[in-house]
Each structure stands twice: as structure tokens, then as C-alpha cells.
Amino acid sequence: MQVFNYSGPEFSPYDDARETSDHEPGPWEAPVASGALSATVRLPGSKSLTNRELVLSALADSPSTLHAPLRSRDSALMIEALASLGTRIDELGAGEYGPDLRVTPGELAGGTSIDCGLAGTVMRFLPPVAALALGPVAFDGDQGARRRPMRTTIESLRALGVDVSDDGRGALPFSLYGTGVVAGGELEIDASASSQFVSGLLLAAPRFTNGLSLRHVGDSLPSMPHIEMTIQTLRARGVRVHTPSPGHWVVKPGLIAGLDVAIEPDLSNAAPFLASAIIAGGTVTIPGWPTTTTQVGAHLEAILPLWGATVARSSDGLVIDGGAGVVGGVSLPGIDLDLSEGGELAPVLVALAALADGPSRITGIGHLRGHETDRLAALAANVNALGGDVTELDDGLAIEPRRLVGGPWKAWEDHRMAHAGAVIGLAVHGIRIDDIGSTAKTMPEFPELWLRTVGAAPSARIDPLNLF
Ligand SMILES: O=C(O)C1=C[C@@H](OP(=O)(O)O)[C@@H](O)[C@H](O)C1
Ligand SMILES: C=C(OP(=O)(O)O)C(=O)O
């Protein structure tokens, strides 16, 4: 097994990361399951698809329309950044999920600074785009973002001839001076800390004069489905991309077509809602579940039955049936899972494992130390503070069965940490999440949707709220 060694800036989930955060921490008492569920939860659009389509629309040769895009902090930051680089983005009427977006590409211009917030997609996808602009572009983000690994982005741009200034930590803040042209060609990078290093380069590569032949060298490569998503979104816009061998991608130079594209619901954000049926019992339906998709959340269909749930597709969407649920006496088995392809699913799956009656190991996720917070340390600290027994491994977590008791649960700015706390709180009285506002990163509706899901009347239909 290949082990990822974290080599980014030093940080721990205990650091106070709130100094530059955009919201006041919202303490929240997680609701306990009060009975079997029967809920249909319509989820907002995928973060990963929305932010890829925004970038490609900005680089395209004609306008694009995004239907049902995500509206959250991460997509708002992407929109703001692309607008400051010269892209026009208009809201179109009010669709079922809020306004669609019309993106009209403009000449890319520097002379701006980009706030990445805590968004990996903004900090890794936009520097190669900014290199195509004329003029200086400065990048910074939240205090927590300054601890996320960025060395590969910085070094890959330098290797492509882009003038980048940084303080040598391999992290935000840094700035680059775009000349309006990137020659491209052959490039080797180490993307073991994040697949987003690969995706960011591939998304801009059709606009490089010679395209890009990109090879990943080094340790294992996480989150392969997200790279597949990048390739598929490029191909849908007429870009020629091929993969001569695993870890080697070739993007031909050429035009990126404008497109009318419907954004799928965020299947990774479906994780806590699907998990709620395993804890509370009963059924949860997610409408609009795509028949085929590159979203890694689709793996939940195969993963969640490991805990005994029945997961099936119906004409209404994806339906999970948790039977009587943990609170109704169902005993969850321990599991052994390599989650290298779907690290963003880990927090909710660890929450389920912490409620199981057997030992679990979730591995292949060493790179989660460089996510919104050090997710391995944060999950271990949170569960152990409730009386759990979670041990950090080099590339994952070992979870021993323990009876958990109520207590504080820290989000550390991390939306998925808050989701995990909410899942545990369904089964354990008195879980107090310190900052439910962290969920605004990808799903500002989470607290409301969650309360309505777990207290939902039979067959209640729950739609995203218009919070904007
Ligand atoms: O490209 C993307 O949209 C993402 C890639 C993954 O990043 P890592 O490879 O850094 O885990 C994933 O965890 C993140 O939530 C979104
Ligand atoms: C790792 C995540 O986000 P980001 O896009 O900021 O990397 C995530 O959403 O789990």
C-alpha cells in the first residue's frame, strides 16, 4: 500500500482558524432521531461540477448557461474571482433551484486579487487561468486556507514559465504575473496531496499554446473520479483529451465551446442525508440522482449497504432504506474501506463507523490532513472527546466500537465535519456543534434541510431554500 506523507504547511485542527472566516460561528444542538424517516430531500447542485463549469465557461469561445448551479460560499468565491478577471456572469430568472447563470467570457485581465476563502477548487483551479491573463494576480484566502498544500500549483506554474512570487512555504498567499500566454508542453508534477493540482492544469490547458502533456510522478494519486470529472467536462466542450497511461494526461490546444449545461445535485452532500436513514431508520429519497456520473458520491450506492442498508433506484430517485435504524436496535458491523477515490466522503462514513458495534478501518485518506482542516486529527479528536476510540494511522483512521456520550463537536470551519457531527447527534443525545455555519461552504441550506429531514412528516418533500 502506498502511504501519503503530508508535506504541506504545518497545521492542526486545534489552531484557531477563525480570524478571516466569513461568518460568525453558529452553535447548534444536533437533533436526535425521533422516529423512522420518510423524507425526500432535493439537494443543491454539485460544488465540483459548478466550479468546473464556471471555469470552463470563462475560458470558452462563446457564452454558456449553467442550469441549477450550486449557490454557496465556494461557488460565490469562484464567481467573484472570475468576474474580477474579466468574465461577465449574470443571473437568469428564478429556476427551480434559484437563478441559472449566464457566463459570457471576456478578455482575461490581471491587476486583481482573488479571495479563495477555504475553497480548494478556487485556489487550485484559478492560478493557471490567471496565468492566461495580462497583469499581476494575487491569491489569498482564510487563515485555514493558508495551511492547505499549494506547492505543486506554484511549482508547476513556474515550470511552465510563469513568474510566481511566494514566501517559500508552498502555501497561500502568493501572486503571479500573467503575460497573457502560457506555452504549455510537457510537465511532471507530484499530485499526491490533491487531485485538484491535476484538474486545475487540465482545465486551463486547451488555452495553452501547445496544450499540455501532464504526468503525475510521486506517491499515490487521490480522488481519481474528480480527475475523470475534469476530463469529461472538457470533452463535453469539444476539447481533445486522452490518457495514454494511468497518471498521464494529454490535452490538445484548441477552443473550449460554450455550453448549456445542467448541474447534477451534489452527491457527496447527499452522504449525511443517506446516513440519516441508517441511524434513524426508514427511508430517504434523493431525487435527480443521475443515471451515470463522475461524482464520487455515486460510490455511496455501493458503500452504504456495507452497513446493512438497502439502496435502490426508483423513478423518484435514489432511495435508502435503513430498516429500524440504529436507534431502533439495528447493529452496524465494522467495515474496512479504502477511500482513496472518495476522501470527501470520509467524515460522514467515519461518523457511521463510530456508531458501529465492530472495529473499522478507513484508509487511503492521508491527504485529508490537507483538507479544510486536518480531517484525520479532527475526526479522532471529536469522536474521542465523546468517549470514542479512534486512532490516527499514516493514511487513515482505526475506529474501535465504544458507547458515545453527548458533548461538544468542533467543526474547525469544515462543512463535512459539521455533517459528521449531525449524523452522530441523531443517535447520541447532547451533541453540540460549535459552528453549523461552516456548512455554508457547499450547502448553506444544511441546517434547515437537516431539521426538516429528521423531523419530516411522512413523504414530506424538502426543497432547497432560497437563502440569497
Ligand atoms: O476537484 C474537486 O472538485 C475536488 C477534488 C477532491 O480534492 P482532493 O483530491 O484534494 O481530495 C475532493 O476532495 C474535493 O472535495 C473536490
Ligand atoms: C476537500 C473538500 O473541499 P475543497 O474543494 O475545498 O478541497 C471537500 O469539500 O470535502
73 with 214, same domain: the answer is: yes
The model's pTM: 0.94
**C-beta of residue 177 within 8 angstroms of C-beta of residue 203:** no
Does residue 66 lie in a domain region?
A: yes
* Domain boundaries, position 116: 47-252
Which atom of ligand 1 sits closest to the CA of residue 124? 1
Contact 464, 440 (CB under 8 A): no
Examine the domain organization and report whether 282 and 231 are in the same domain: no
195 CB near ligand 2 (under 6 Å): no
Task: Tell me if 11 is assigned to some domain.
Answer: no
297 and 236 within one domain: no
DSSP state of 130: H
Tens of pLDDT, residue by residue over 218-255, are 889 999 999 999 999 999 999 999 999 999 999 999 99
Evaluate whether residue 13 is within a structural domain: no
Segment 17-39 shows an average pLDDT of 78
pLDDT digits (tens, 9 = 90+) for 308-349: 999 999 999 999 999 999 999 999 999 999 999 999 999 999
Q: Does any ligand 1 atom lie closer than 6 A to the CB of residue 360? A: no
Q: Which of 53, 228, 344, 445 is catalytic?
A: 344
In a domain, 260, yes or no: no
Do residues 438 and 354 both lie within one domain?
yes
How far is ligand 2, taken at its centre, from the CA of residue 119, in Å?
A: 6
Question: Is residue 306 assigned to a domain?
Answer: yes
Task: Provide CB contacts within 8 A for 447, sequence distance 6+.
Answer: 26, 28, 436, 439
36 and 61 co-located in one domain: no
Residue from 368, 371, 442 whose mutation best tests the ligand 2 pocket (most atoms within 8 A of CB): 371
* Co-location of 236 and 276 in the same domain: no
146 assigned binding-site residue: no
Residue 15 in domain:
no
Q: Which of 372, 379, 443 to mutate to test the pocket of ligand 2 (most atoms within 8 A of CB)?
A: 372
**Residue 301 shares a structural domain with residue 386:** yes
Residue 441 sits in a domain whose CATH number is 3.65.10.10
Greatest alpha-carbon span in the chain: 64
Name the residue with the closest Cα to ligand 2, atom 3. 120
**C-alpha of residue 150 to centroid of ligand 1, in Å:** 13
User: Which of these three, 201, 224, 252, is where a domain ends?
Assistant: 252
* In-domain check, residue 3: no
Establish if 423 belongs to a structural domain: yes
Do 458 and 374 have their domain in common? yes
Residues 108 and 180 sit within 8 Å (Cβ to Cβ): yes
- Of 252, 283, 303, the domain-final residue: 252
Q: What angle do CA 190, 174, 158 make, to 5 degrees?
A: 45
pLDDT given for residue 94 in this prediction:
72
Q: Is the CB of 222 under 6 A from ligand 1?
A: yes
**59 plus 146 within the same structural domain:** yes
CA of 312 to the centre of ligand 2 (A): 27
Residue 80 falls in the annotated catalytic set: no
Q: Where are the alpha helices (DSSP H) in 221-286?
A: 224-235, 271-280
Determine which of 79-83, 97-101, 193-197 has the lowest per-residue pLDDT on average. 97-101
Q: Are residues 67 and 204 in the same domain?
A: yes
**b/e burial code for range 222-233 (CB count within 10 A of at least 16 → b):** bbbbbbbbbbeb
For the CA of 347, the nearest atom of ligand 2: 10
Total structural domains in the chain? 2
Please, which pLDDT band fits residue 403 given cuts at 50, 70 and 90?
Answer: very high
Residue 121 Cβ inside 6 Å of ligand 1? The answer reads yes
**Grid cell locating 76:** 460565490
Q: Which ligand lies nearest to the CA atom of residue 120 in the structure?
A: 2
Residues 71, 193 share a domain: yes
What local confidence, expressed as pLDDT, does residue 97 receive? 72
Evaluate whether 358 touches 312 at the Cβ level (below 8 Å): no
**C-alpha to C-alpha distance for 200 and 219, rounded to whole angstroms:** 19
Question: Does 226 share its domain with 273?
Answer: no
Cβ atoms of residues 93 and 66 within 8 Å: no
Cα 170 to averaged position of ligand 2 atoms, centre (Å): 18
Return the percentage of the chain with pLDDT > 90, whole number.
Answer: 89
Domain stop point among 252, 287, 309? 252
For 93, counting Cβ atoms within 10 Å of its Cβ (0-12 exposed, 13-18 middle, 19+ buried), the class is: exposed
Q: Which residues fall within 8 angstroms of residue 315, CB to CB, at 6 or more apart? A: none
Tell whether residue 416 is among the known ligand binding residues. Answer: yes
